[in-house]
């Protein structure tokens, strides 16, 4: 079955993570990129999860999962070492109207957590529909080599330019064309690989650490 890919805004929504091991730690780290109301339920937690609790970034309940705990949550992820518990959490969360995921149990998932290349607001998500997380991770590593940290700065600048253009230009095809020209990074193919962004232009200057020159070139675009 084909999936419908989306990026969720979790700010303002309640998120529940059931489990406190290394897998739970990974899931918590991922949701904390967006979520501001995260509760973790588990008798035992890793030192890093405990640190997040001490920082106040998560709420922690050091108990076993009990019926009724998923009520009121928007997103629920269960990653205990018990398949039975994970499935129970999933089924109750679904009954309560939450999006739910029992980790490593495709039949008990409303969604799959993709492998993600994250460069600030610039993100690439890779999914195999639960068939091969290993392949997703392999592709992620390849993409991380092609899309470096410079894309965070590049994306932030494009966002500011988009806001300016929306204020000063009417909503026409011309505005759309200008935004496309600003975002355009023509690939330059060498003998053995494709270098995204080419060897000229503001993106390449950011990549090379010459952000001052990039700003000058942007201003003249």
Residues 101, 193 within the same domain: no
pLDDT for the residue numbered 192: 45
Which residues in the chain land under pLDDT 70? 1, 185-221
This prediction has a pTM of 0.72
Would you state the pLDDT for residue 172? 81
Are 32 and 21 part of one and the same domain?
A: yes
Q: Given this model, what pLDDT does residue 199 score?
A: 42
Domain holding 206, by residue range, is: 150-219
Q: What is the pLDDT of residue 212?
A: 54
Check whether residue 68 and residue 100 sit in a common domain: yes
Query: Do 92 and 185 sit in the same domain of this protein?
Result: no
Q: In terms of domains, do 17 and 97 share one?
A: yes
Same-domain status, 56 and 118:
no
**How do residues 141-182 score in pLDDT, each as one tens digit?**
999 888 888 888 888 888 888 888 888 888 888 888 888 887
Check which CATH number belongs to the domain holding 62 and give it: 3.40.50.720
Which pLDDT does position 165 carry in this prediction? 84
Nearest by Cα to 201 from 180, 174, 189, 183: 183
Query: Looking up tokens 């290394």, which residue turns up?
Result: 22
Domains identified in the chain, total number: 3
- Give the model's pLDDT for residue 155: 84
- 93-102 contact pairs (CB < 8 A, 24+): 93/16, 96/70, 96/71, 96/72, 98/16, 98/70, 98/73, 98/74, 99/74, 99/75, 100/70, 100/75, 100/76, 101/76, 101/77, 102/78
- Same domain, yes or no: 124 and 197: no
């Amino acid at each position: 079955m084909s999936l419908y890919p989306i990026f969720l805004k979790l700010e303002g929504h309640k998120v529940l993570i059931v489990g406190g091991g290394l897998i739970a730690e990974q899931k918590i780290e991922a949701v904390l990129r967006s979520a501001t109301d995260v509760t973790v339920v588990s008798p035992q937690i890793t030192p890093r999860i405990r640190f997040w609790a001490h920082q106040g970034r998560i709420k922690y309940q050091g108990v076993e999962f009990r019926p009724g705990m998923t009520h009121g949550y928007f997103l629920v992820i269960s990653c205990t070492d018990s398949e039975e518990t994970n499935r129970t959490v999933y089924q109750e969360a679904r009954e309560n109207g939450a999006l739910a995921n029992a980790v490593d149990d495709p039949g008990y998932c409303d969604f799959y957590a993709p492998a993600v290349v994250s460069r600030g607001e610039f993100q690439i998500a890779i999914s195999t529909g639960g068939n091969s997380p290993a392949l997703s991770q392999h592709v992620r590593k390849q993409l991380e080599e092609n899309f470096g940290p410079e894309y965070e700065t590049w994306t932030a600048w494009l966002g500011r330019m988009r806001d300016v253009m929306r204020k000063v230009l009417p909503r026409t095809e011309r505005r759309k064309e200008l935004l496309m020209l600003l975002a355009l990074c023509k690939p330059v193919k060498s003998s053995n690989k494709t270098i995204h962004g080419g060897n000229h232009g503001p993106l390449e200057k950011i990549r090379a650490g010459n952000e001052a020159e990039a700003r000058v070139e942007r201003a003249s675009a």
